[in-house]
Structure 1
């Protein structure tokens, strides 16, 4: 295990690594850190650095509890520390705080150890919980394969000695599984052509290429009086880095002639198809694409026709109200026969589930079923589909209806069929079809939920960002919103709110994160701003109230915001910021400045103390509010972006539409890397009562509370 170690309070990094545990590093990285009697970290392993993000120099010498333990668990941490100092070792699942703030669930062993000063310190050995679960699932899958497979399976090391065999192979050889371990095939079954088989296995180890269907022949203790034949396949067993660990052997007894040989080939193909399905189904979170991948796996290798139907109720925005007597929508279908009248089977078409039909029983009971020829036309109830029903009745030789069930709920069903002349589905075919559809159901449900959430988020965002801006006193307005992706929504927004006395509230904000949660938080903030604006709060108190509102949404919620109040009578704006980039002010002569003063803390950070900048806004000048996606990209920093923005704004005489086009064209010549919102307000000339003078020059120059670029 690689660690940084020191005998003093703040150790220096080691000259060289202690070593590298390759297997543990690949399968289950183990983090280690040690604290002295005062709770200060004195050792920090490389695995801890990888899992929690802290470099050794960032943690060594610091107290472990406030750095790594969530505040809610400090009391528990103190209790565990007292128990360990008393000599007790404890184990459990506890979260640790990553350097970026998120929590990492970890399986921990905490035990006493001597610190550099000879006092009792603490040693923590931890692994990420998800890594443990992945290892558990992988081992469970391997265990299930070895125990349940009717095929003889074995794992052999690089020395071609058995490391593990299943019961099927032990029965074939007539030797117990325990007696296989540590022996070579030539030692275990000398009555078989084991020498030739070992040469094949050695070639697999040497060149790294699998070999399929090598014939093993001879007699074993299981049947010493009869020659038998096996189909043997060998594949290299590689570690995570591509290094050879040995090989996997699978053996099928094909003694009973051509039929057995055919069965072996079919079994191999089924296993290959099952493995292939795991990589071909669910490559995206697009629902139609996932459904299409299901039929592409099934046809033509396993069936001649396939049809994915989903209950219309689960495709709604909330996926609620599943009913067995509902409507199904065809999400994907494949019918390779060009002569088939498949117009009534087009993707996207809907049909009512016939009451009392086999389809209803399959969906309600969640059990797959083979279909009779009389069942098939019933699944096509559409009027005018007589030709199709006749075709299916005459051309289909066998069919199976498998329910799509995921997370305990029915989503629909998959129909697979073979034409006459092809061998009907046998028992093994049905098992494979059911397994494929069962696995695909989870991928389809994931895509369904993602699609539903994304559409809901997009609808919410469109409703909040695409509304027309109101007509307000003293200002001409223009706003733009550019999403970074058509598939994922963000939390950028802007709004304009008429206030008493002819004033106007201008707000722009950016909720951190993406997806429906960010869009929902954005909607809540927008509503909060409008509600608080009704109380006519000044900008600093508005942001303080919003900070409290964001804090109530959850400790991980955070947003930046600018709130400005324009007073056309005074010819000025009062502006407060919460961690947001400074607005730009453009005078009529093209001078560009940025609002000066502290940016404030983001909403949700608990600052709640915000300063107000007073910014003159004479007629024909512009106030430009924007989110950081406009000025900051992977290729440039914020200062460079603000410089480009200033250059783009030095022509304020254009229409606001042209100003927006120029800004976006100069700063975002290609697609945006992050969501972008822009709100531009132009001050209009003030209307004066008859008999009054032409007015005074504003008492404050445009440079007050503004920073020139």
Structure 2
């Protein structure tokens, strides 16, 4: 029980049987040795020691060989306590058990305070002796304090506590843990955690790792399984190995804290952070282009998959179609973009470009007419696809979709269409924060789409105006072969660049190229006014310098913010001479028949509208087969490109002026213009014919 009992000569046979019997009865050897070492000695009727345990040797330093046969009182009891020791011995010999706290002499002479149990004992001759069981007082106090602390902790702690044995079965749990598990304390004892709550295999695996490795695990998060998210609980679980006195791992101590609210707050904060990040990202991704289709696709890319499992952007034909077709498209929507994460979605019925008539009296019509978003049900969405498609879509929705929302796209008081978003089963339905964010993103998208819609209409109007004002066909003139091109900036910008060739009454030809500052309808309208003014002045045979002075006054009359550049040249086929005047315009280029290229870097006055046109002229003779190239600055200037580099590239592209003129012009644009131009470009080529 506390170590082997040393037997001296004459030890009674009955004592020999104690260790075996007691060990068998205890069922777990070494408990007292681990927690509270107990010394044991036996004194016979003569007051002499007949037994001395190894635990007594550990506590008091005397070996059994030294103690057996010695006078117990003389060796162990200090003199001042001899009388007390005699009284205790007399009490025990009467058959009473006595408990006392007494100092006992250590082998080194020091006194050890001990708790002693004196029990009656018959020696080998049947005389009354004493069996003493002793423990060091400080050890008893430590054990008492530890037990009191443990009892207080288990009884009063709001934290769930448990002790588990080496087989990971509960040895003890407190009421707090029982409330967490919703299982009484008594029903925990002897059972494993997987027998208490389903889905806790991961917890048992963590405890097994703690027991095997001897390393504590702190703040392991575990969320209970529940179909209702509101009933799910999250625990912070900490586990540490339970160690015996020799350091062996004899179990696991567990503590559990309910951190559901903290976890929910953390998740909400993380969701809020993601929402803010998504809003910021949407600000950069949506509206990056003024193309309607691409803008609709950007909306889908922002929504799927981070906020929804599908997004379907449908635009009203009457809102985005040209004015002449809008009246015939009332109540018709066209799918502009769509994305479906779920591979089971009926993609054939949800193809981009398909149109459908909004059913009368449907939720879709209500949302469009009222301009208010709405959560949808299966019965609401089915009628949106007419004919047999409705059954297919309804079956898909019933099987796969858990939530859907229809949000109208409203911008500047006009409903442009709607966006349908869904989430599939296995995901949480849209909560209030989700719907707020989705509605905000759709509102932003509606504004971007409206910008693209208005810009497309403005661009179409500007192109129409520009084409009506600038006749792209060139006249047949004497002494020159002509070709020209106009390219808007990319697919979305129309500016005020123009070219013209005017046959004069005396056989000469006026060549004109100009560039009005700005883009859009206004720039095209100003260009039209200048082109008309130039033609009027040219037919009066006005000299080039006076033409530019008149144009300068015209631009100035249009307003302080108007500005343009212009080059006006008059070619005489009789002698090949060409008189040129420039107002802030890039210099023309002449390439001779041998490929020599020269920029006519003569005087260039200020732009039109600034004033101060001095009317300086430059004259050059165009030899037969030589090429004159006049252009606007968009041909040689681009963002990130030096002007001199642009002019060198232009010169290199004119090394073969003998090629057909249309080919020279097309090659020039193909090699000099970037895929996405910063500015529109006009270019006019004139080849001198043999005289």
Q: TM range, normalised to the smaller chain?
A: 0.5 to 0.7
Aligned counterpart, 1:391: 396
Question: CA 1:335 to 1:661, structure 2 compared with 1: closer, same or farther past 3 Å?
Answer: closer
Deviation per CA, 1:538-566, whole angstroms, max 9, x where unpaired?
A: 32333233223322443222121111223
Aligned counterpart, 1:351: 356
Q: Which has the higher helix share?
A: 2
Indicate yes or no: 2:375 matched with 1:373.
no
Structure 1 residues not aligned, in runs of 5+: 1-212, 216-228, 232-254, 687-709
Pairing of 1:113-262 with structure 2 (within 5 A): 258=260, 262=264
Contact 2:544/2:568, CA 8 A, preserved across alignment = yes
Aligned counterpart, 1:601: 606
Deviation per CA, 1:207-231, whole angstroms, max 9, x where unpaired?
A: xxxxxx999xxxxxxxxxxxxx999
Alignment match of 1:409 (pick from 414, 417, 437):
414
Deviation per CA, 1:195-245, whole angstroms, max 9, x where unpaired?
A: xxxxxxxxxxxxxxxxxx999xxxxxxxxxxxxx999xxxxxxxxxxxxxx
Aligned counterpart, 2:631: 626
Question: CA 1:583 to 1:382, structure 2 compared with 1: closer, same or farther past 3 Å?
Answer: farther
Q: 1 CA distance for matches of 2:641 and 2:262?
A: 66
Aligned counterpart, 2:516: 511
Alignment match of 2:552 (pick from 547, 552, 558):
547
Indicate yes or no: 2:368 matched with 1:363.
yes
Q: 1 CA distance for matches of 2:444 and 2:667?
A: 51
Aligned counterpart, 1:576: 581
Contact 2:581/2:615, CA 8 A, preserved across alignment = yes
Deviation per CA, 1:666-702, whole angstroms, max 9, x where unpaired?
A: 877998776544322122234xxxxxxxxxxxxxxxx
Aligned counterpart, 1:87: none
TM-score (normalised: structure 1): 0.52
Q: 2 CA distance for matches of 1:483 and 1:495?
A: 17
Alpha-carbon offset, residue 294 of structure 1? 2.9
Alignment match of 1:328 (pick from 329, 333, 342):
333
Aligned counterpart, 2:282: 280
Contact 2:544/2:580, CA 8 A, preserved across alignment = yes
DSSP-derived class of the 1:388 partner: helix
Contact 2:650/2:672, CA 8 A, preserved across alignment = yes
TM-score (normalised: structure 2): 0.53
Question: CA 1:439 to 1:615, structure 2 compared with 1: closer, same or farther past 3 Å?
Answer: closer
Q: 2 CA distance for matches of 1:448 and 1:637?
A: 35
Aligned counterpart, 1:338: 343
Aligned counterpart, 1:308: 313
Q: 2 CA distance for matches of 1:663 and 1:304?
A: 48
Aligned counterpart, 1:294: 299
Contact 1:377/1:393, CA 8 A, preserved across alignment = no
DSSP-derived class of the 1:526 partner: helix
DSSP-derived class of the 1:580 partner: coil
Q: 2 CA distance for matches of 1:419 and 1:643?
A: 60
Q: 2 CA distance for matches of 1:534 and 1:366?
A: 58
DSSP-derived class of the 2:372 partner: coil
Contact 1:305/1:336, CA 8 A, preserved across alignment = yes
Question: CA 1:419 to 1:637, structure 2 compared with 1: closer, same or farther past 3 Å?
Answer: closer
Question: CA 1:323 to 1:655, structure 2 compared with 1: closer, same or farther past 3 Å?
Answer: closer
Aligned counterpart, 2:505: 500
Q: 2 CA distance for matches of 1:420 and 1:479?
A: 61
Deviation per CA, 1:566-618, whole angstroms, max 9, x where unpaired?
A: 33346433332212233344555766665575322211112354244454445
DSSP-derived class of the 1:500 partner: coil
Aligned counterpart, 1:169: none
Pairing of 1:608-647 with structure 2 (within 5 A): 608-617=613-622, 619-631=624-636
Contact 1:624/1:681, CA 8 A, preserved across alignment = yes
Alpha-carbon offset, residue 376 of structure 1? 0.7
Alignment match of 1:566 (pick from 562, 565, 571):
571
Contact 1:547/1:608, CA 8 A, preserved across alignment = yes
Q: 1 CA distance for matches of 2:553 and 2:325?
A: 34
Q: 2 CA distance for matches of 1:401 and 1:553?
A: 49
Indicate yes or no: 2:437 matched with 1:435.
no
DSSP-derived class of the 1:374 partner: helix
Question: CA 1:477 to 1:259, structure 2 compared with 1: closer, same or farther past 3 Å?
Answer: same
Contact 1:281/1:290, CA 8 A, preserved across alignment = no
Contact 1:325/1:360, CA 8 A, preserved across alignment = no
Contact 1:317/1:456, CA 8 A, preserved across alignment = no
Question: CA 1:342 to 1:459, structure 2 compared with 1: closer, same or farther past 3 Å?
Answer: farther
DSSP-derived class of the 2:633 partner: coil
Alpha-carbon offset, residue 355 of structure 1? 3.0
Aligned residues: 440
Deviation per CA, 1:47-84, whole angstroms, max 9, x where unpaired?
A: xxxxxxxxxxxxxxxxxxxxxxxxxxxxxxxxxxxxxx
Contact 2:317/2:326, CA 8 A, preserved across alignment = no
Which region of structure 1 is more displaced relative to structure 2, 559-568 or 285-294?
Answer: 285-294
Q: 1 CA distance for matches of 2:595 and 2:427?
A: 79
Alignment match of 1:526 (pick from 515, 531, 534):
531
Aligned counterpart, 2:242: none
Which region of structure 1 is more displaced relative to structure 2, 441-450 or 409-418?
Answer: 441-450
Question: CA 1:214 to 1:411, structure 2 compared with 1: closer, same or farther past 3 Å?
Answer: farther
DSSP-derived class of the 2:378 partner: coil
DSSP-derived class of the 1:436 partner: helix
Question: CA 1:546 to 1:391, structure 2 compared with 1: closer, same or farther past 3 Å?
Answer: same
Aligned counterpart, 1:265: 267
DSSP-derived class of the 2:441 partner: helix
Q: 1 CA distance for matches of 2:639 and 2:439?
A: 47
Deviation per CA, 1:117-160, whole angstroms, max 9, x where unpaired?
A: xxxxxxxxxxxxxxxxxxxxxxxxxxxxxxxxxxxxxxxxxxxx
Q: 2 CA distance for matches of 1:634 and 1:424?
A: 48
Q: 2 CA distance for matches of 1:674 and 1:427?
A: 46
Question: CA 1:670 to 1:548, structure 2 compared with 1: closer, same or farther past 3 Å?
Answer: same
Question: CA 1:533 to 1:362, structure 2 compared with 1: closer, same or farther past 3 Å?
Answer: farther
Contact 1:465/1:481, CA 8 A, preserved across alignment = no
Q: 2 CA distance for matches of 1:685 and 1:361?
A: 74
DSSP-derived class of the 1:355 partner: coil
Contact 1:494/1:507, CA 8 A, preserved across alignment = yes
Aligned counterpart, 1:129: none
DSSP-derived class of the 1:556 partner: coil
**How much is the aligned-residue C-alpha RMSD, in angstroms?**
4.5
Structure 2 residues not aligned, in runs of 5+: 1-219, 223-233, 237-256
Q: 1 CA distance for matches of 2:329 and 2:377?
A: 21
Question: CA 1:470 to 1:408, structure 2 compared with 1: closer, same or farther past 3 Å?
Answer: same
Contact 1:282/1:443, CA 8 A, preserved across alignment = no
Max Rg structure: 2
Alpha-carbon offset, residue 405 of structure 1? 1.6
